Amino acid sequence: MLYKAEPPDRELTMKPTTTWVLIADGARGRIVRNLEATGDAADRLHDLTFETDQKQLREIMADRPGRSFASEGSRRSAMEYHSDPVREQEAAFADMLIEQLERRHAAHEFDRLAIVAEPRMLGLLRQKLSPKLSVAVIKEVSKDWTKLSPAGLRRAIVDLGFTAPAA
């Protein structure tokens, strides 16, 4: 069998590896996509931002849980809540973030993913990662960077080692 070789002057072009950084806490998420930007473009990060209407526990549980009758006699007692609404809200937010990432990873928008999240949110995200998306995760950092300024966020990402410092 005869194989034809490529001409030596023809270069093979490879698609550059694209890395995204997910920064999240229980109510806010940000996906930093343009890690290669420098100068003024570095201050205008091309992020995807997500927010949920984080309610305080007293707002969620404003209504009293109700009362029940005892099986014998006429005694009544207060019913207890059987879940933590704040954690359920955070879990739903984590589901939404993972769904967005899985959809965009399947569309080949990024190859590698770093996750920087508040410790409890990082745990939720780890639980919800699909096997395909977990292969793309190259780094996990247990910190809350959601309140950093764009310049501070840029410095923190550079410190992770994904980009060259902005000129």
CATH number of the domain where residue 149 is located: 3.30.420.60
Percent of the chain with pLDDT over 90: 39
Helix residue ranges per DSSP H, the chain: 40-43, 57-60, 85-106, 119-128, 131-136, 150-160
In a domain, residue 30? The reply is yes
In a domain, residue 73? The reply is no
Asked if 124 and 96 touch (Cβ cutoff 8 Å), the reply is no
In a domain, residue 60? The reply is no
Q: How many domains does the chain have?
A: 1
The pLDDT tens digits for 127-163 are 999 999 999 999 999 999 999 988 888 889 888 886 6
In a domain, residue 79? The reply is no
pLDDT reading at 121 higher than 90: yes
pLDDT reading at 42 higher than 60: no
- Provide the pLDDT for residue 111: 92
In a domain, residue 72? The reply is no
In a domain, residue 142? The reply is yes
Which pLDDT band holds residue 16 (cuts at 50, 70, 90)?
A: confident
Lowest-confidence pick of 21-30, 76-85, 88-97, 100-109: 76-85
In a domain, residue 154? The reply is yes
pTM score above 0.85:
no
Identity at 25, one-letter amino acid code: D
Give the residue from 129, 114, 117, 97 showing the smallest Cα distance to 159.
114
> Higher pLDDT residue, 160 or 125?
125
Tokens 């609404």, residue located: 85
The pLDDT tens digits for 60-85 are 554 555 555 555 666 665 556 566 77
In a domain, residue 23? The reply is yes
Structural domain for 50, as ranges: 19-54+84-160
